[in-house]
């Protein structure tokens, strides 16, 4: 990147953070700094950063979002408030803040677009996380208005890739299915999958997220509204499972537990804004991304978060 020599990545050890590669980047871990604490955050932010890519968050699957609402709210609201305010205080020129499609209202007209974030309450299952994330959007807009800062939020759909959290209970759908299939193959057992496989979701590889974020930083993007980072390609859970099975060369039985809940049928998003900004951008094909992620998980089983 030409003019930006010093870029701080918060959540630098995570799924998204590890995809920013190069000498300009400094990867921050919660071990270096607890971003819930204002003084600790300020100590890191006063080091004159050209830009900050803010990936740190308390993240989890549906189960942990429902069980630990207090923690999800407190951690995320504190982390975001400290990061955005410290960036302003120490004159950071550019900041990109990660939201999530969970911020959108439960009762929304699909496809999701950038202008629909605040049109109604989010789903009750993860409303603590969603409201905390929504407030980051409000804070960024307020700071743009009052201080004229070039700060922006991005809204990725479901992300997958290496360095994800592969925990079967608390992880997101792809890493948790990868881990399950790995164990089924290892133990010669059937691969049990919740639901019917019919729901559709949009998935994006973490490498695409990093590349698109870099493009946004370079482009000088400065709209009030955030940008949805999505392929807008819907993939069924059945196709996800088939691709994982193929990548593992798993020959055992796949058992669909259709008495278990399916969740919402589809949550399509509209990536028109992203495509307008970067019309030639080519996303990593889904099958290739899954194959690489499975390979990474197998090779890094011991150290993988699980």
Q: Cite the active site residues.
A: 129
Three-class SS state of 83: helix
Nearest distance in Å: CB 60, ligand NDP = 8
CB-based contact 35:60 (threshold 8 Å): no
58 contributes a contact to ligand NDP by CB under 6 A: yes
Contacting residue, 6, 26, 29, 263, with ligand NDP by CB under 6 A: 29
CB-based contact 191:184 (threshold 8 Å): yes
15 contributes a contact to ligand NDP by CB under 6 A: yes
Residue with smaller CB distance to ligand NDP, 247 or 269: 269
Q: Which two three-digit tokens encode residue 259?
A: 């008495």
The sign of the CA dihedral 243, 240, 179, 182 is negative
CB-based contact 100:133 (threshold 8 Å): yes
Contacting residue, 8, 9, 11, 44, with ligand NDP by CB under 6 A: 11
**Total Cβ atoms within 10 A of residue 154:** 21
CA distance 37 to 78: 8
27 contributes a contact to ligand NDP by CB under 6 A: no
Contacting residue, 52, 159, 228, 290, with ligand NDP by CB under 6 A: 159
Peptide bond into 104 cis (omega under 30): no
136 contributes a contact to ligand NDP by CB under 6 A: no
209 by Cβ neighbours in 10 Å (0-12 / 13-18 / 19+) ranks as: buried
Query: In Å, what is the CA distance from 287 to each residue of 57, 242, 293?
Result: 28, 10, 10
**Choices 27-35, 114-122, 210-218, 245-253; region in contact with ligand NDP by CB under 6 A:** 27-35
Contacting residue, 8, 9, 20, 36, with ligand NDP by CB under 6 A: 36
Closest CA to 246 of 195, 286, 282, 284: 286
Nearest distance in Å: CB 189, ligand NDP = 27
55 contributes a contact to ligand NDP by CB under 6 A: yes
**Choices 9-17, 138-146, 191-199, 248-256; region in contact with ligand NDP by CB under 6 A:** 9-17
**Choices 55-63, 113-121, 189-197, 219-227; region in contact with ligand NDP by CB under 6 A:** 55-63
Number of residues engaging ligand NDP in binding (CB under 6 A): 27
Residues within the interface to ligand NDP (CB under 6 A): 11, 13-17, 29-31, 33-36, 55-59, 75, 79, 98, 100, 156, 158-159, 165, 172
């Amino acid at each position: 990147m030409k003019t930006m020599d010093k870029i701080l990545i918060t959540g630098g050890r995570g799924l998204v953070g590890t995809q920013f590669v190069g000498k300009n980047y400094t990867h921050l871990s919660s071990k270096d700094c607890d971003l819930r604490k204002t003084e600790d955050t300020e100590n890191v932010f006063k080091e004159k950063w050209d830009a900050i890519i803010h990936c740190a968050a308390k993240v989890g699957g549906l189960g942990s979002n429902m069980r630990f609402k207090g923690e999800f709210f407190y951690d995320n609201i504190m982390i975001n408030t400290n990061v955005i305010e410290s960036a302003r205080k120490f004159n950071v020129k550019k900041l990109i803040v990660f939201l999530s499609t969970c911020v959108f209202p439960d009762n929304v007209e699909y496809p999701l677009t950038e202008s629909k974030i605040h049109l109604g309450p989010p789903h009750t299952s993860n409303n603590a996380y969603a409201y905390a994330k929504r407030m980051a959007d409000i804070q960024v807009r307020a700071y743009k208005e009052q201080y004229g800062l070039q700060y922006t939020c991005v809204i990725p759909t479901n992300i997958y890739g290496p360095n994800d959290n592969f925990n079967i209970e608390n992880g997101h759908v792809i890493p948790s299915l990868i881990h399950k299939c790995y164990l089924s193959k290892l133990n010669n057992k059937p691969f049990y999958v919740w639901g019917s496989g019919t729901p559709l979701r949009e998935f994006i590889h973490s490498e695409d997220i990093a590349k698109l974020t870099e493009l946004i930083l370079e482009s000088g993007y400065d709209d009030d509204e955030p940008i949805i980072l999505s392929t807008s390609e819907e993939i069924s859970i059945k196709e996800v499972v088939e691709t994982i099975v193929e990548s593992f060369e798993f020959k055992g039985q796949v058992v669909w537990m259709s008495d278990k809940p399916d969740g919402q049928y589809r949550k399509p998003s509209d990536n028109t804004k992203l495509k307008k900004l970067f019309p030639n951008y080519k996303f990593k094909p889904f099958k290739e991304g899954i194959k690489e992620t499975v390979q990474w998980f197998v090779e890094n089983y011991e150290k993988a978060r699980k």
